[in-house]
Amino acid sequence: MATNVTASALLDAQARLTSVFAPGTDTPSRYEYRSKVKTAEAMLMEHNAITRAISDDTGNCIGHRVYWPKVGDTTLDYNGDKSTPSLSLACTIPSGTGPVTAAKTYSHNLALIKRVELDDNLCGNLFQFTELAAERLAAGTLAIRKALNTKFINFLDTNKSAVNNDASLPSGMTFGSSMFSVDNSILDLQNPDTLTDLDAVMLNNEIEDWFYVSGRYNFYNARVNSQYHRLNDTERDHIRFDDYDMYFDIKSLDSTLSGSNTFAVGRGSYVFWDHVDGGLSQIPQEVDERTFEYFVDDPMLMVNANGVMRPLRYSVRYQYVCDAVNNTRMRQTNIHRWEIILHGGLWVAPAGSSGETGIMKFKKA
């Protein structure tokens, strides 16, 4: 029986969480635990916004503040040959263009919650609390990862730029309805040469630093081939894929949006953070004799938190309650319940001067 649950038992369950993902434990029933969520993986690791937590008068974190620098006025103060127009410099430098920032406080707008439970009405040694609790935590975090992946996919599609500043698109590519349509018979989306055209589109839209997220159809086969054809003179160009930050969400991206999709995402085009109350730690804290609070690390996903790569974090509330009395064994049995919470924020950055969002969608026509 596990009625006398302690903080150490819950901590042991956390430690056992990684065993669910350990090599050599694969069975069909466990395959799904490792389900890939590559869009979420890319978005969590690649963003580079620096945030600062903002608290209210009582010390509660109410959101994060981000400073987004803008270029401002780019008009020259003088442009001539010194005589036309006439030029006269003074000892005192006249006023110039000051810094322009779009400081904004973003509220927590992301909450994903999964509740799992465990009945300890099992005989003798069949009930292993730490093993089964770890399995329940693994199942709960899996559900949140899947939901987060879908949320990121829809976020990219919703916030794709409605503006294109590239006035000379390559043959086979057109822009409309906030996306670039690509005629695959002209621009093959399995050919690394096409990546050069995509690069040019990004650069002509003033986006200097980006990564790609593709589904199962665009570039995926060519990327895999690049690992095997490096020494063939006729396919030496495949080595170019090594220079690209590309993520392939072969399970969810195309199936969620339909068609063949590729997103080019500016690293500064969005902001994400996960929030765990500062009073929590990974050591469970007793709220009352049946309730504990703590946080756990996701066993798969890492997040760039102000330049530091660390695991994504979830707040956890654990509670056990009397379920019934087993009259055969003459013992009380309990239901153990966990509430796993991903709390944080996901926002698009302020648009550029022409309304561009820094997120470009390319789709096979």
DSSP string for 253-292? HHHHH-S-EEEEEETTSEEEEE---TT--SS-EEEETTEE
Res 295: pLDDT:
96
Res 25: pLDDT:
67
The torsion region of residue 58 among left (phi > 0), alpha (psi -120 to 50) and beta comes to alpha
Res 66: pLDDT:
86
Please name the residues in contact with 293: beta carbons below 8 A apart, sequence gap of 6 or more. Answer: 280, 284, 285, 287, 315, 316, 317, 318
For 250, the 3-state DSSP assignment is: coil
In a domain, 172, yes or no: yes
In a domain, 232, yes or no: yes
In a domain, 131, yes or no: yes
In a domain, 155, yes or no: yes
Weakly modelled stretches of the chain, pLDDT under 50: 1-3, 124-126, 236-239
In a domain, 93, yes or no: no
- Structure tokens, 118: 């465990």
Res 243: pLDDT:
63
pTM: predicted TM-score of the whole model, two decimal places: 0.86
For 173, the 3-state DSSP assignment is: strand
Please name the residues in contact with 40: beta carbons below 8 A apart, sequence gap of 6 or more. Answer: 145, 148, 149, 152, 301
In a domain, 235, yes or no: yes
Q: Among 23, 7, 36, which Cα is nearest to 280's?
A: 7
In a domain, 175, yes or no: yes
Query: What total of structural domains would you count in the chain?
Result: 1
Range of the domain at 24: 1-69+100-365
The alpha helices in 123-219, defined as continuous H runs, are 129-158, 192-204
Res 227: pLDDT:
63
Res 126: pLDDT:
47
Res 95: pLDDT:
85
In a domain, 86, yes or no: no
